[in-house]
Amino acid sequence: MAINWTDVQIEQIVASVMSQLKGESPAIKDEYNGAGYNGKKYIGVFEDMKDAIDAAESGYKAIRAMSLEEREKIIAVIRELCRKEAPTMARLGVDETKMGRVDHKTAKHMLVADKTPGTADIVAQVKTGDYGLTLTEMAPFGVVGSITPSTNPSETVICNSIGMIAAGNGVVFNPHPNAIATSNYAIDLVNRASAMAGGPRVLVSSVVKPTLDSANVMYKDPRIKLLVCTGGPGVVKSVLSSGKKAIGAGAGNPPVIVDDTADIRKAGKDIIDGCTFDNNLPCIAEKEVFAFASIADELIDAMRANGAYLISRSDADTLARVVLVEKTNPKTGISSKIVNRDCVGRDAKVLLEKIGISVGDEVRCIICETDFEHDFVQHELMMPILPIVRVKDIDQAIDLAVRAEHGNRHTAHMHSKNIDNLTRFARAVETTIFVKNAPSYAGIGFGGEGHTTFTIAGPTGEGITSAKSFTRLRRCVLAESFRII
């Protein structure tokens, strides 16, 4: 019997065969989209942004009526589901965005489940004196509008949800268009957790097809009292121009200095471990190295012993022409280089194949020696490519590293045992996160002390955000009483 395939069916079959040839898992792609999975609709995901805001507002009203204990119960179930479903979200994230690594994304979800602060972060302050007692409490804003990135999609949704719910807010998300299924899976997870813990069926919300237009609806809706944006410079600028209170977590380009007092073998391993975490997608990951010339060869050897592949300067130039593309701004006619999205978060092996170099799976990072002006130093690539610039002394290292960070004041790293050098660089670079003698991820609580976040708010100053960042302070004064001493 002859089968009459439609064009759409043929396209689907070709896409499925192509993805199987590439080793991807079509099952996940077939079952998940922005609206649901396995034939089951995501809870809290709406066609229209207005409806999503209505739902988040109802969520806010429900939270306001809850005790802290009830909020904490919901958060406990979110943590539990996040741990249980971490591998699913990690795999979905890689399949949908084509970026990052399943094992590292799984670890990132575990980190969010374990180290995102809940209601314990909300602590009131009291002042007593001759005039009585004044109480300052951390109150919710109301409904928060949250814009999330493609690089840590479900991690950011869950981390923000925990903090924002702990603070008593409702939340509506406008996730990244390249990571809708993954982000909306996480929104559904939060809502399932709420229902399981006795909370409302829809506590947080989102839309099936987030766009810049749906973000604009969010900006303009008077019910949205706080905007929280995690992403590149364009979107951070747009929320800061919205006329609303906004928290902006923007781009970085973290430099690393290695001086001649460092434990070079450890530095080489730590830098490659940090740089290759989730294929360099985290905004805190090592992006360029300034190494004292006296130890540079030893450092490169230590990196090569830990999965780095050294390419020549001419291969670095060829690779730069692949991973960066020229784009002309239609309004100004000015052209500039931007990262090639097809290369972001890809395996080192895949990137090397693009310039005709074939390597095994043991290669996890591409390293090369460049000068300071090289595109690899100047652009935030978010790929496992690490340029190394030789410097003569600490003065030159700090000068170049500060310039490479481009004033983002985001993250910087240093490997050294010289406390004067460490202190000088930390002071000069003024970053939100400064990691000494460890991989970059120690800065967000992974093998380092302190809580975690995937929203590091440098431009607006909240830093390593947590529940208290999403609150507004309210004062309550009782004059001439309640000072009992």
When binding is defined by CB under 6 A, the residue of 26, 87, 177, 447 that contacts ligand NAD is: 177
Burial of 395 per CB tally in 10 Å (0-12, 13-18, 19+): exposed
Cα 421 to Cα 257: distance, rounded to the nearest angstrom = 10
- Residue 32 carries which DSSP code? B
* Structure-token match 């002309």, residue found: 328
| Nearest-approach distance from CB 177 to ligand NAD, in angstroms | 5
Does 88 interact with ligand NAD (rule: CB under 6 A)? no
And the tokens for 364? 């996890």
Show contacts with ligand NAD in window 444-483 (CB under 6 A): 454-456
Only segment of 84-92, 120-128, 148-156, 414-422 that touches ligand NAD (CB under 6 A): 148-156
Query: How many CB atoms neighbour CB 205 within 10 A?
Result: 29
Separation in Å, CA 344 to CA 132, 380, 382, 465, 481 = 58, 10, 6, 25, 61
When binding is defined by CB under 6 A, the residue of 106, 184, 230, 466 that contacts ligand NAD is: 230
- Residue 151 carries which DSSP code? S
| Nearest-approach distance from CB 229 to ligand NAD, in angstroms | 7
When binding is defined by CB under 6 A, the residue of 109, 176, 346, 451 that contacts ligand NAD is: 176
Structural contact between residues 71 and 119, judged by C-beta atoms closer than 8 angstroms: yes
Site string for ligand NAD, 60-79 (x = CB under 6 A): --------------------
| Nearest-approach distance from CB 430 to ligand NAD, in angstroms | 15
| Nearest-approach distance from CB 26 to ligand NAD, in angstroms | 24
Does 109 interact with ligand NAD (rule: CB under 6 A)? no
User: Measured in whole angstroms, how far is the alpha carbon of residue 89 from the centre of its chain?
Assistant: 15
| Nearest-approach distance from CB 456 to ligand NAD, in angstroms | 4
192 Cβ contact partners less than 8 Å away, ≥ 6 residues apart? 43, 81
Does 184 interact with ligand NAD (rule: CB under 6 A)? no
- What are the beta bridge partners of residue 174? 147
And the tokens for 433? 């996160």
Number of residues located near ligand NAD, criterion CB under 6 A: 25
- Amino acid at residue number 36: G
Only segment of 6-14, 25-33, 78-86, 144-152 that touches ligand NAD (CB under 6 A): 144-152
Show contacts with ligand NAD in window 376-395 (CB under 6 A): 380
* Structure-token match 């840590």, residue found: 152
Q: Which residue's CB is nearer to ligand NAD, number 59 or number 149?
A: 149
Does 280 interact with ligand NAD (rule: CB under 6 A)? no
Give the β-pairing of 385-391 and 308-311: unpaired
Structural contact between residues 157 and 183, judged by C-beta atoms closer than 8 angstroms: yes
* Structure-token match 């380009």, residue found: 253
When binding is defined by CB under 6 A, the residue of 151, 378, 440, 452 that contacts ligand NAD is: 151
When binding is defined by CB under 6 A, the residue of 212, 293, 325, 478 that contacts ligand NAD is: 212
The residue whose Cβ lies closest to ligand NAD is 231
> Could you give the angle at which helices 153-166 and 180-196 cross, rounded to 10 degrees?
40
Structural contact between residues 230 and 457, judged by C-beta atoms closer than 8 angstroms: no
Show contacts with ligand NAD in window 243-262 (CB under 6 A): 249-252
Q: Which residues bind ligand NAD (CB under 6 A)?
A: 147, 149-152, 175-177, 212, 215, 230-232, 234-235, 238, 249-252, 283, 380, 454-456
